[in-house]
Structure 1
Amino acid sequence: MEKAKVSALQLFAIMFIYDLGTELVIPYGIAARKDAWLADLLGMCGGIILFYIHFFLFRQYPNLPLTGYVRKIFGKYMGWIIGLLYVMYFLYIAARNVRDFGDLIISSTLSETPLVAISISLVLVVCYVLYLGVEVAGRTGEIFLIILILFGIAGSFFVLVSGSVDLHNLQPFLENGWKPIFTTIFPETINFPFGEAIVFTMFFPYLNQPGSLKKVGLFSLLSSGIILAWTASLNIAVLSVEEVERSTFPLLSTIGKVNLLEFIQRLDAIVVFSFL
């Protein structure tokens, strides 16, 4: 294992950015319709429970990543198989996200660029950061965190002052009862992205302040869950639930509604740049 370490802020940055991921731009939790924001928040609560399980295992094996302590728990051979399955699962998540980002870029800006060219470019950047090590990945996350927060605040502000928000689109509360919310929480919102955060069990041993892990993990889950719920409610308030259901990337459509004084327009480029 590398001797490099990441700080609490760096681990928070990459966990926070990971939890947001592609969920910001896709119709996340929309199966709950107008109560998608509530399904997102309850899914976050489920993610917190999962994090406590990961935290408990880290406390038992503070110097080992997930693939290391599964061999301690299940034995050398069975643990190796389970570790391999998790590695394949992580690769699947990464491949799916690369495809999602490629589709986003093609549909919004580079419509004539082949998908394979965009995907290869993204993979090469990821490979380069991984080659430099986990510490560089953490420092990169810090920089991206600042950019993401600034763009998020600016985008939300312009949407709110543009006059496109209609709170009636969010009413009535619990229009279809609790059933669609619970069926959306599992397996959708609790698994994607909060359940997938199990990947960070591979990063926990690199934390230079192991005692801060609990605060870092909980704060990243709470902040990302609240932002996902806010984004879902904003999309529905601007577009209506029917349009969000039909849209592949509703956040782009929401930001695209901004038109202040016929001067501030086409802010959907901010969303695309943030994800790039």
Structure 2
Amino acid sequence: MEKAKINGWQFFILIFLFELGTAIVINPGLDAKKDAWLAVLIGLIIGLIYFLVYFALYRFYPNLTLIGYAKEILGRYLGFSIGIVYLCYFLYIAVRDLRDFGELLTASTYNYTPLFVIHAIMVLTVAFVIRYGIEVLARTGEIFFSLLMLVGVVGTTMVFISSRMDLNKLLPVLENGWGPVLSTVPLTYTFPFGEMIVFTMLLPYLNRPQIAIRVGWTGMGLSGMLLIWVMIMDITILGVEIAARSTFPMLAAIGLVDIAGVFQRLDVAVVMTLMIGGFFKIAIFFYAALISAAELFTVPTYKKLILPFSIIILIASMTVASSSVDHNKEGLEIVTYYIALPVQVGLPFLLIMTAVIRKRFNPR
């Protein structure tokens, strides 16, 4: 780890931008139809509860990352294996987020730009920023947070003025019972709230450890409320059937906003939101992978790994799926159940239970 510290405000901004990431555009949970907002709300509540597990592990080992205390809890060899799992996970999700970013830009704005070029520009930008460390990334977040809030306020105001929203499209609530909602919750939890597991790699950088839970819950709560609002907006503008079939519902919904034929094409606000959120989400997963690898393989500084990891992420983002359809299907059917849940829920639960038992029988 580098010798750096970030304050509570910067930590909050990183969480807020990270949670929005690509989720604000893709909108998980539409399988629950009209009750998609309820599925996101339940996913948020579970995420807030499970953040307590991450916080408890951090308080047990305040100077260690997830990789460090995995070896302390499970022993050198098993802990090293767990560390490899998380290293691969951080890299893989960075690859998937980069592909999400590229797919939206090529589908909405840069129709004739090769996907590889878009990915390369994003990877180079991310690599340039994280080369200067977590403090620079956090200060960059402060700048873009203000811009994102301005875009959000303007966009929301335009949506209200256009009178495109029809709240009756949300009724009746729970028309098909709790079944569709609960079956969708694993997706709405793992993406994006369960991905907070990556912040176990950043918690040691917080300058005041005692505020971690308050800052974490605030960042997750506010971003979760915003995701719920966007979900409601998509359904009430497009209708649930069109929203569920759309690859990027928010882009389609905002594209319909037209105020007196003057204010149109607000989809540029969606693209800007994705670029900001996508940048920070990719950057945080990329950075977590770098410091994980540096700690696992005792590399003196993570900066030596930036170039090889950039090449890996760039190439993998082009080969992870043959098309956007396959990419989305893989995320819904494979990643959620066979990768995300074990890594975000199963392994942290194993670590906290083992740590509690060890602390009980050996308080020192």
| TM-score bucket of the superposed structures, by smaller chain | over 0.9
Does residue 121 (structure 1) correspond to residue 116 (structure 2)? The answer is: no
Distance 2:145 2:91 in 1: 24
Amino acid at match of 1:211: Q
1:275 Cα deviation after fit: 2.1
Does residue 146 (structure 1) correspond to residue 141 (structure 2)? The answer is: no
Cα offsets for 1:226-248 (capped at 9, x unmatched): 11111101100000000001111
1:48 Cα deviation after fit: 0.8
Cα offsets for 1:218-271 (capped at 9, x unmatched): 001111111111110110000000000111111011111111121111010111
Does residue 202 (structure 1) correspond to residue 196 (structure 2)? The answer is: no
Distance 1:176 1:153 in 2: 34
Does residue 35 (structure 1) correspond to residue 10 (structure 2)? The answer is: no
1:175 aligns with 175
Amino acid at match of 2:122: L
1:228 aligns with 227
Instruction: Report how many residues are paired.
Output: 275
Distance 1:61 1:222 in 2: 25
List aligned pairs for 1:72-221, cutoff 5 A: 72-185=72-185, 187-221=186-220
List aligned pairs for 1:238-257, cutoff 5 A: 238-257=237-256
Distance 1:256 1:50 in 2: 36
Amino acid at match of 1:161: I
Cα offsets for 1:153-205 (capped at 9, x unmatched): 111111111011111111111111011111111x2011111111100010000
Distance 1:157 1:259 in 2: 12
Distance 2:57 2:125 in 1: 32
**2:259 match: secondary structure:** coil
1:27 Cα deviation after fit: 3.5
1:149 Cα deviation after fit: 1.3
1:104 Cα deviation after fit: 0.7
**1:261 match: secondary structure:** coil
Cα offsets for 1:48-83 (capped at 9, x unmatched): 111000000000000011111100001011101101
Q: Extract unaligned runs of 5+ from structure 2.
A: 276-364
Distance 2:142 2:210 in 1: 20
1:120 Cα deviation after fit: 1.0
Contact 1:159–1:257 (Cα < 8 Å) also in 2:
no
Distance 2:74 2:239 in 1: 49
1:274 Cα deviation after fit: 2.4
Contact 2:41–2:224 (Cα < 8 Å) also in 1:
yes
Distance 1:113 1:174 in 2: 43
* Larger relative contact order, structure 1 or 2 (CA cutoff 8 Å, min sep 6): 1
Contact 1:147–1:274 (Cα < 8 Å) also in 2:
no
List aligned pairs for 1:46-85, cutoff 5 A: 46-85=46-85
Distance 1:50 1:103 in 2: 31
Distance 1:135 1:27 in 2: 30
**2:219 match: secondary structure:** helix
- RMSD of Structure 2 on Structure 1 (CA): 0.9
Cα offsets for 1:72-106 (capped at 9, x unmatched): 00101110110111011011111000000001111
Distance 2:23 2:2 in 1: 31
2:274 aligns with 275
Contact 2:27–2:227 (Cα < 8 Å) also in 1:
no
Amino acid at match of 1:35: D
